[in-house]
Amino acid sequence: MKKVTINSVASYAGVSKKTVSRVLNNEPNVSDATREKVLKVFKELDYTPNPIARGLAQNRSFIIGCLYDNPSKSYITRVQTGALAACHELNYNLLIHPCELRGEELISNIEHLIQTSRLDGIVLTPPFSDFPELVSFLKSKKIPYARVASAVLEDDSISVRSNDEQGAFEITEHLIKLGHKEIAFIKGHPDHSATEQRFKGYRRALASNGIEFDERLVEEGNFSYHSGVDSARTILDLNPRPTAVFASNDYMAAAVLKLATQMQLRVPDDISIVGFDNAPIARHIWPGLTTIAQPVEEMTQQAVKQLITHISDPQESPYQVTLEAKLITRESTAAIK
Amino acid sequence: MKKVTINSVASYAGVSKKTVSRVLNNEPNVSDATREKVLKVFKELDYTPNPIARGLAQNRSFIIGCLYDNPSKSYITRVQTGALAACHELNYNLLIHPCELRGEELISNIEHLIQTSRLDGIVLTPPFSDFPELVSFLKSKKIPYARVASAVLEDDSISVRSNDEQGAFEITEHLIKLGHKEIAFIKGHPDHSATEQRFKGYRRALASNGIEFDERLVEEGNFSYHSGVDSARTILDLNPRPTAVFASNDYMAAAVLKLATQMQLRVPDDISIVGFDNAPIARHIWPGLTTIAQPVEEMTQQAVKQLITHISDPQESPYQVTLEAKLITRESTAAIK
DNA sequence: TGACATTATGACACCGGTGTCAGATTAGGA
DNA sequence: TCCTAATCTGACACCGGTGTCATAATGTCA
């Protein structure tokens, strides 16, 4: 099997390689006859252009990077799924790059990544999406980027998000409608902008239903299962015990559930628990968790698609989108008796 | 910021670009003085060679692909972590490629991937590691590949595995030592070679402890949580009910646990449950699952490292390694009363 | 010191595409 | 029918590295 290059195609079709290149890139100024002739040779020889040679000539790599630092494997996988879908569609490759937000030398780490891998652009997923140092670094270096699930909107950059505040509002209101008034809240990791958004939604729901906010019901978590255990311990020992717990994600909610079960509390009869994200664990435990589902794949896919479009044609003006989050009710919530 | 290329380095250092290239690749036949002079210029100009140009010249992409089709997000993430570690170390990039083993046109899908992305090699993770059609395709196309967690050993290819059969043996024996004799078994997905291996280990443990194998205690699963629910239903309805259940992975074990809990069975007092893989869920549920931990990251890292080494220097003879699996005991198993 | 082997270096083509520009061909209008 | 404008096409340089080979510099030994 010998290699099929643009030269072999050109000589086989009896045209110059530049003409072949024109056909390849759908450029104008090729007569229909020539175009078809070349296209036929493509098929006959089973020709695939070499992206590396192309990249060298155009100073592009056809690679975009995906940055994440997230304890939730399912979230990461969903992000990857969305990003890959967009990449496949637009003939790009995806380079995944897990790294720590608070790791030393984040910026130089990223700079090195961009330098060595010659990324054409970067997708930022939480918590990077709202990390100012990084965003302004990319902006100063003129590296195209897109932000997924960011809270802060900048109008000159690509950003696709879902409404965390609204989701938190809705799930809190769901509890309130079930008669709950003492609703504990476990916060997420302070580096994630979602943390503040979800907290805001919680407070807005309380306020709009005339329930006074009680600071003693709020615990600091960090989205990890482990932090959920710690927070749960404090909350479940409160006297009087709250009748419901809203954990800022499903892992922490699962931790609350585990601890409650260990303490012989029945969920949802004795206490209702809700999470956020609709992670697989939400339906893998008993009782299943009432939670908020976000369209993570969809968000990432749109963000990456936008990003690649922008790279290929910088005229394309970047835009912002907000997608819907959805309440999923399972067995972990019930009306107060 | 203007681009720093091999030409700028060469003229700045007062040598030819070929000499710069020599220094870059640690080739011999460069005098120490020249070498140092060039290295100093590297630093001064902050030069990073362009992998794309390099790739074009050497007909390499410095990219290896990672194939998977696995319902376990944590397994996928662990695989990626290991693969990335090896890639970073050896200046390679990783292209992840989730795809369905039984999807239509798997082979042509992979062929297309290799064609368009010009992969230098491929890592196969379960269930691809032992999929003969794919392996022989890669072999016929002379695409370097490495297999992770494969059961079948071929001596002319790279393969890093852990001993599933032995792990299953040990965890079964753990149950037997606790006094269990009626131990139900839920099989994994038939496409995964681990499925048969784990089953073998289970049977060997029974046999070596003089317990007769009872076919009625065996259910067909497919590694998914959902299949675990189905199998659990059958098993927990058996009369007499087995005193222990060995599910071939933790998701299915979690399903058994969920169903048992719903049926008011106490775990481990009424029934012991064990899983396999040591997935996060094993410690996120209550009671935590006794299971077998495999060094997935380590396996993948070694496989990828081997693979890249082999690509860079085909003389390097491929090798096979088997790493240790480890029993993790948690709260889901107890001595029979 | 001369003859020869060894080491160091650079000129140049090449990898497989794309950009520029000039020249050839065709179309359209007078 | 001729002239000009619009459309096609190809020659050639270039992207940033590496491979080959010739030549220059140095080392070795008689």
Average pLDDT over residues B172-188: 98
Binning pLDDT at 50, 70 and 90, where does residue B1 land?
low
Nearest nucleotide by C1' from B8 CA? D16
Write the residue in A56, A96, A281 that is nearest to B281 by C-beta.
A281
CB atoms under 10 Å from CB of A132, counted, come to 8
**Length of chain B counted residue by residue:** 337
- Residue A263, pLDDT above cutoff 60: yes
Which CA distances in Å does B24 have to B5, B12, B306?
12, 15, 23
**What's the CA gap between A67 and A123, in Å, rounded?**
6
Average pLDDT over residues A249-254: 96
**What's the CA gap between B82 and B86, in Å, rounded?**
7
Domains annotated for chain A, with CATH where assigned, are: 6-49 (1.10.260.40), 59-162+296-323 (3.40.50.2300), 164-294 (3.40.50.2300)
User: What rounded mean pLDDT belongs to chain B?
Assistant: 94
Average pLDDT over residues A76-83: 97
At B146 the pLDDT is 96
At B154 the pLDDT is 75
Dihedral (Cα; B17, B23, B26, B29), 10-degree rounding: 80
DSSP strand E in A145-221: where?
145-148, 158-162, 183-186, 218-219
Average pLDDT over residues B259-281: 95
- Residues of chain B in contact with residue A50, where contact means CB-CB under 8 angstroms, are 56, 118
3-state secondary structure of A153: coil
At B239 the pLDDT is 93
3-state helix, strand, coil in chain A (%, to 5): 45, 15, 40
3-state secondary structure of B159: strand
Average pLDDT over residues A120-131: 96
- Residue A2, pLDDT above cutoff 70: no
Average pLDDT over residues B76-103: 95
- Residues of chain A in contact with residue B257, where contact means CB-CB under 8 angstroms, are 286
Binning pLDDT at 50, 70 and 90, where does residue A190 land?
very high
CB atoms under 10 Å from CB of A247, counted, come to 32
- Give the containing element (helix H, strand E) for A326: strand A326-328
Query: B280, A77: Cβ pair inside 8 Å?
Result: no
At A1 the pLDDT is 55
A34 Cβ within 7 A of any nucleic strand D atom = yes
Query: A254, B77: Cβ pair inside 8 Å?
Result: no
A55 Cβ within 7 A of any nucleic strand C atom = no
Average pLDDT over residues B243-271: 96
User: What rounded mean pLDDT belongs to chain A?
Assistant: 94
Classify residue B232 by burial, with Cβ atoms within 10 Å: 0-12, 13-18, 19+: buried
**What's the CA gap between B263 and B259, in Å, rounded?**
6
- Residues of chain A in contact with residue B116, where contact means CB-CB under 8 angstroms, are 48, 51, 91
Query: B284, A50: Cβ pair inside 8 Å?
Result: no
A58 Cβ within 7 A of any nucleic strand C atom = yes
Query: B77, A77: Cβ pair inside 8 Å?
Result: yes
How distant is the Cα of A230 from the closest Cα of chain B, in angstroms? Answer: 14
Write the residue in B95, B255, B257 that is nearest to A93 by C-beta.
B95
pLDDT digits (tens, 9 = 90+) for B192-238: 999 999 999 999 999 999 999 999 999 999 999 999 999 999 999 99
